[in-house]
């Protein structure tokens, strides 16, 4: 996703079940990698290594409830972002993952209507298919709270991004946001007004 965009377009790369934990997204053994771009090499490495290979820039990962549960490791969100994911769409997110994603400028879209509901294991296919299917082309309006599935020609509601999260995503994440607040403005107070 180009930093700052609150409207996304891309294809669904993979549809996963409930409780996709942070060890599945990014194994603990690689936690000493602190170069964010390099984390992408280990995305889903233990269980779904094939996902990363086919991840086109801007494509979407769809999952069920409680995506990103477990550890606070920011590498889970970083690996998704730097492997090219444009957003994760899930029925719900674990709270630390959700905050990490927004802080790194990765959209986390909550939509029980569009994503898998009703399954409880990370390692088996979803019990009933997600409404969104792999390969579907989507247009997402994060502020309006709308997922337009162009392939199925259906529109699903999603939770509209709250203003604080929208502000952070629009800035490209927390680092550029704070940088602008404390550094750039100090240098040039007119920057935000031009």
Half-sphere exposure of 35 (CA within 13 A, CB side): 3
81 interacts with another protein by CB under 8 A = no
Report how far residue 179's alpha carbon sits from residue 8's, in angstroms, rounded to the nearest whole number. Answer: 25
46 interacts with another protein by CB under 8 A = yes
How distant, in Å, are the alpha carbons of 28, 76, 87, 110, 175 from that of 71?
A: 9, 9, 20, 20, 21
Among 50, 118, 121, 133, binds another protein (CB under 8 A): 121
Among 14, 17, 43, 66, binds another protein (CB under 8 A): 66
Report how far residue 9's alpha carbon sits from residue 80's, in angstroms, rounded to the nearest whole number. Answer: 16
Among 120, 143, 159, 191, binds another protein (CB under 8 A): 120
Query: Which stretch in 8-16, 131-139, 148-156, 173-181 sits in contact with another protein by CB under 8 A?
Result: 173-181
Q: How many helices (H) and strands (E) in the chain?
A: 8, 7
List the structure tokens of 64: 């069920």
96 interacts with another protein by CB under 8 A = yes
Q: Which residues bind another protein (CB under 8 A)?
A: 18-19, 21, 23-24, 27-29, 31-32, 34, 46-47, 65-66, 69-75, 77, 92, 94-96, 99-100, 103-104, 120-123, 162, 164, 173-175, 178-179, 182-183
């Amino acid at each position: 996703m180009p930093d700052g965009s609150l409207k996304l377009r891309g294809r669904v790369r993979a549809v996963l079940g409930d409780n996709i934990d942070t060890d599945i997204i990014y194994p603990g053994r690689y936690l000493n990698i602190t170069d964010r771009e390099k984390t992408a090499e280990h995305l889903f490495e233990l269980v779904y290594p094939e996902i990363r290979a086919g991840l086109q820039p801007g494509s979407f990962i769809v999952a069920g409830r409680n995506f990103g549960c477990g550890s606070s490791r920011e590498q889970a969100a970083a690996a998704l972002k730097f492997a090219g994911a444009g957003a994760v769409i899930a029925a719900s997110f674990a709270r630390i993952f959700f905050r990490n994603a927004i802080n790194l400028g990765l959209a986390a879209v909550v939509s029980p209507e569009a994503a898998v509901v009703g399954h409880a294991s990370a390692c088996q296919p979803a019990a009933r298919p997600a409404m969104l299917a792999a390969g579907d082309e989507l247009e997402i309006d994060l502020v309006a709270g709308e997922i337009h599935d162009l392939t199925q020609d259906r529109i699903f509601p999603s939770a509209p991004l709250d203003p604080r999260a929208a502000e952070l995503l629009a800035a490209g994440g927390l680092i550029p946001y704070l940088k602008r607040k404390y550094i750039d403005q100090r240098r040039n107070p007119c920057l935000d007004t031009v």
